[in-house]
Amino acid sequence: ETGVTQSPTHLIKTRGQQVTLRCSSQSGHNTVSWYQQALGQGPQFIFQYYREEENGRGNFPPRFSGLQFPNYSSELNVNALELDDSALYLCASRLAGGTDTQYFGPGTRLTVL
Amino acid sequence: GENVEQHPSTLSVQEGDSAVIKCTYSDSASNYFPWYKQELGKGPQLIIDIRSNVGEKKDQRIAVTLNKTAKHFSLHITETQPEDSAVYFCAASRGGGADGLTFGKGTHLIIQP
């Protein structure tokens, strides 16, 4: 077990709607990253938060946004959902101190109809 | 940006035999190379990682080798067991930064009894 939890497990939304996914990291993990994993593909980096500020982003549009809270929890928000947003969304956390090791949660499966 | 190629996409081996999965990367500044195992319905689980100042690392039946000059790294699993069946992903990053992990497309490892 990585100590990283995500909710909900599954979610079904309609095109154009908005969604919020949640992640809870272990105490002391002050860096959290979010990834999108399409079926049959490797995870793709969306963005990273460090000390509640976004400090890195992959090739994803601004309608993907996030928040990180002092209690080591975080959120991924996606606006104006598109069919291609259907995927497994993973969060990964890192220990403070500069380690590169990322621990992944079980993911949230999002289906957009 | 970084690009990671992974081969083969599917690998079937007899139980007890060895399995080798290979990856190449494009960014010469990448210096952190983790391998993840993902079972159905679960998030990626870190199994081993290596940094660019090390050529080889071993942990029981699992080993990773890195050739910085050729920009490729490999995962070796010896004495394969049925529980090794899963999808394996290689990844690369610059380490310590905020640009996230770049993953390969994955290898579906099948252990035949």
Q: Which of residues 93-112 of B touch A (CB under 8 A)?
A: 93, 95-106
Do A64 and A35 touch, CB atoms closer than 8 A? no
**CB-nearest partner of A100 from B36, B93, B104:** B93
Position A28 confidence tier, pLDDT thresholds 50, 70, 90? confident
A19-24 β-sheet, strand order: A5-7, A19-24, A73-78, A64-68
Asked if B100 and A90 come within 8 Å (Cβ–Cβ), the reply is no
Judged against a pLDDT cut of 80, whether residue A106 lies above it is answered with: yes
The token pair at A109 is: 């499966």
- The secondary structure element, H or E, covering residue A108 is strand A108-112
Cα distances (Å, whole numbers) of residue A51 to A22, A91, A111, A112: 17, 16, 30, 31
| Token reading at A6 | 């995500």
Whether the per-residue pLDDT at A8 is higher than 70: the answer is yes
pLDDT of residue A71: 86
10-residue mean pLDDT profile of chain B (113 residues): values are 96 98 96 96 94 91 96 98 97 82 97 94
pLDDT band at A107 (very low <50, low <70, confident <90, very high): very high
A-facing residues of B in 10-49 (CB < 8 A) are 32, 34, 36, 41-46, 49
DSSP SS3 for B85: coil
- Cα distance between residue A90 and residue A88, in whole Å: 6
Instruction: Give the torsion through C-alpha atoms of B57, A92, A62, A83, to 10 deg.
Output: 100
Q: Are A61 and A103 in contact, with CB atoms under 8 Å apart?
A: no
What distance in Å separates the CA atoms of residue B21 and residue B28, rounded to the nearest whole number?
21
Q: How confident is the model at residue A113 (pLDDT cuts 50, 70, 90)?
A: very high
Whether residues B103 and A101 touch (CB distance < 8 A) is answered with no
pLDDT score recorded for residue A98? 66
* A101/B105 Cβ within 8 A: no
Q: Which of B21, B37, B101, B108 to mutate to test the interface with A (most CBs of A within 10 A)?
A: B101
Query: Which tokens in the block code for residue A21?
Result: 């996914």
Using only C-alpha atoms, chain A has a radius of gyration, in whole angstroms, of: 13
Tokens describing residue A23: 């992640």
Distance CA(B16)–CA(A99), nearest Å, equals: 34
Residue A55 has pLDDT above 70, yes or no: yes
Instruction: State phi, psi for B22 to the nearest 5 degrees.
Output: -120, 145
For residue range A65-85, what is the model confidence (pLDDT) as tens digits? 999 998 889 999 999 999 999
